Amino acid sequence: MSTLSIWGVVNGDTYAAGGAINFVNASDATNLAAKIPAVAGLWTKLSGSTIYFVQGTGGPAESLKNAISNNKFKKYEDSQVLSETAYLPVSLTSRPAALCIIKPSQDSINLVRKLVNSDIAVIIDSINNSAKPQIILAGLYSSQPISVANILQQIQNNTILNADLGVAVSVNCAVPGLFFGPAASKYLEDAGYAKVTSGNLTEYKTSLDAGNGVTIPALINFSGNHAFITTSGKEAYSQTLMNGFKR
């Protein structure tokens, strides 16, 4: 596999996910396509060295299938989103492997609220109402080129949290930076988040529940109208990613 792209479409209460798996040569794509089992709600299409797929039903799924079947693709040209990628870390120790782009809409927010518990839903509403996020970028990072086989082996061996592997998130908010940073900082301090200093950065420490009693450290920093968030099984690597944001 050379690259993987995933798209999501939300319309009211209906959503669908689709994507494209690109291979170095067509024979690899053909061999894998022949092994994909028939699954309800999963549509696939082989085109040269690319396997397209759509999961879901209804209008959003049909719009993705139509675009794929009629080859209605174009370069991603959202200049506002593309300019936001300049904030993300890129270095020899912070190698981006995947990028997720989210432009929140009320439909997508309502959908997420239905998929999480009530406590998280309250937090989502608070963030949406007070910070008004416009663009969210989330990148998967590693200090070394990512090998899917190695990651699967680390998961099987329960050593994945010891790897230099993490996620870096940049959130562009509509609230002007003059107000956003101080208000967000006060909110986290009042909520009991630990405030720490690393170099010239003021950060807030928290942790994410990974299940089975395992927590993953996370860091939060504010700069202008941006919130930067990093998480990794290794706190030191989370800090490496945080230091890598362009402010």
Angstrom distance (rounded) from CA 151 to CA 159: 9
pLDDT tens digits, residue range 132-157? 899 989 888 988 876 666 666 776 77
Res 123: pLDDT: 60
> Pick the residue with more confidence: 243 or 155?
243
Angstrom distance (rounded) from CA 158 to CA 156: 6
pLDDT tens digits, residue range 49-59? 999 999 988 88
Residue 106: which H helix or E strand, with range? helix 106-115
Mean pLDDT value across residues 88-95: 89
As a whole number of Å, the CA-based R_g of the chain is 20
Q: Alpha helices of 8-96 — where are they, by DSSP H?
A: 26-33, 58-69, 79-84
pTM of the full structure: 0.76
Residue 155: which H helix or E strand, with range? helix 148-156
Domains of the chain in start order, with CATH, are 3-69 (no CATH), 79-244 (3.40.1000)
Angstrom distance (rounded) from CA 246 to CA 191: 27
Q: Is the pLDDT of residue 27 over 70?
A: yes
> Pick the residue with more confidence: 225 or 98?
225
Q: Which amino acid is at 34?
A: A
pLDDT band at 238 (very low <50, low <70, confident <90, very high): very high
